[in-house]
Every structure is written in structure tokens, then in C-alpha cells.
A = this chain, B = another copy of it.
Amino acid sequence: MSYQSRKQIILKILEEKGEAEVKELAQQLDTSEITIRRDLGTMAADGLLFRTHGGAMKLSLVNQPVSFAQKSNMNASQKEQICRLAAAEIQEGDVIFMDCGSTVFKLCDFIKNKRIKVITNSLPVVYELMNTEVEINLVGGEIDKERQAVHGAVAQEHLLRYHADKAFVGVGGISVANGLSAVSEKEAEMTVGMARQAKTTYLLCDASKLETTKYLQFASLSLIQVLVTDETNDAILAPYREVGLRVLN
């Protein structure tokens, strides 16, 4: 049996079991341990597996990339509903902004198969869309590790280069009286930046944020054009409609 054949079998075994020992492989492939060791050596050099003492492991078990654990599992069903509504607004060929909020992140699931261009400052969004049809443009600048996103002056200037059909943004709080508010200046800055460069700005906002105000009030309601929410109580939504907002729910 040739090296190539053994290689296929070893990879298959690793794929199934995750790891394997030299002895075990030698027995299964009916060859000597030294041959297996040599095989594992070259395969490790080719980056096909991770060599351990006494055996080998599947690569993905060793160097798994940072997983972007999103807080997006909170209120998952509400967020999904909001994103379903938002995604329905997106046309093939659109250029859209997506900011770094957890609700906006969920939108990824609904646009993976659309042929659109996404401009974002959110690393989880980039990661999520990496293996899809979507073209991605990443905002450059300093990375805010806490938010897993790019913020700052250079990021703002980067935004100015682009114009998009739609911007999808999140927010800390929204109220008819006080407009939009945020918990972070950075996020507020990015929200404003994207909204200014987009024809239409969609605010994705679950019911718990309606009629709340966070510490930083940063823009009036006129910054956005569409409010997408899971709130069903028309008494709460009516005032937003009255000031000219389109409301999707």
C-alpha cells in the first residue's frame, strides 16, 4: 500500500475519531510503526494533522479559531423575528451597512445566500459571512476587543468613503421624547456615521428597548427612517409612526 493510500485512510480515521495512536494505526493499516510515524511526520509537515506523542490529532481540535460567543442568544426568538422582517427589505445587489450590535449580528443568518455587499465594523459579522456569497467590506481602524469591532476616528473616515442603500443598526435605547441613546460613545458614533452614509436607516430594536433612555443621548429620531421591532402593542408604536417613522413589526 502506498503512502497516498495510507494518507487517505489515516485522515479518514482522524476525521471520525479525532485522534489516533501510532500502534493502533500500524495495526489497522497492516504496516510497521516506523512507517506510520514517518507518514504522520510528513502529514504534519504538510499541515494535515497535529502530531502528538504517540499519535496524531485532527487539526480542528487543536487550533480552533476564536469563537465569537455572542450575547445574541438572549431573546433569540424576538431577534429572529426582527431580522426576518429586516432581511425581507434587502434586495439582490444592495449595499448595506451593518453595525456591531447583537441584534444586527443575527441578521447574518438571513442574508447568507443573498448576492449583496456588506460594509461592517463588526468582526463577528465578518466571521459569520466569511463562507457565504456575500461580499464583505471591513471598516478599518483600531479594534475594540470588548465589542469585537472597529471604532475610532480612522473608522469614521473610512465610512465616509462609502455610500450604501441601507444601514442596519442597533441602539441602547429609543424614546419619542429623547430620541436615540447608547451605552457607549463609540457605538453611538458608528451608528451616526453609518446612518449618514445610507439612503435608508433601519433600527433593529427589540421591545425591551422601546421607550427607554440610556446614559448617552446621541441623536434624534430623524436619524433613522425605519423602526423594526417585535413590539405588537400599537399604543406604544403609534407615536413613532406619528413622527414620520415607518414601523415594521
Contact = CB atoms under 8 A, between A and B. Distances in A.
Given A2-B52, A59-B73, 13 more contacts: A3-B53, A4-B19, A4-B50, A4-B57, A5-B52, A47-B74, A48-B70, A126-B143, A127-B127, A130-B145, A138-B143, A140-B150, A158-B158
Interface in A140-176: 140-143, 145, 148, 150, 154-155, 158, 161
B135 A142 contact: yes
A38 to B, nearest CB: 13
List 4 tightest A-B contacts by C-beta distance, closest first.
A140-B140, A47-B73, A47-B70, A2-B52
Interface stretch (A28-36, A61-69, A195-203, A239-247): A61-69
Given A44-B73, A66-B131, A52 B126 contact: no
Interface residues of A, number: 54
A230 to B, nearest CB: 13
A69 B63 CA distance: 8
Number of copies of this protein chain within its complex: 2
Contacts of A123: 126-127, 130
A93 interface: no
Contacts of A69: 47, 59, 63
A136 interface: yes
A137 B141 contact: yes
Contacts of A53: 2-3
A5, A57, A155: most-surrounded residue (chain B CB, <10 A): A5
Interface in A41-60: 44-48, 50, 52-55, 57, 59
Contacts of A57: 4-5
Interface of A: 2-5, 8, 19, 44-48, 50, 52-55, 57, 59, 61-63, 65-66, 69-76, 123-124, 126-128, 130-131, 135-143, 145, 148, 150, 154-155, 158, 161
B161 A138 contact: no
Contacts of A130: 66, 123, 143, 145, 148
A69 B235 CA distance: 51
B137 A138 contact: no
A138 B141 contact: yes
A152 to B, nearest CB: 9
Contacts of A140: 137-141, 150, 154-155, 158
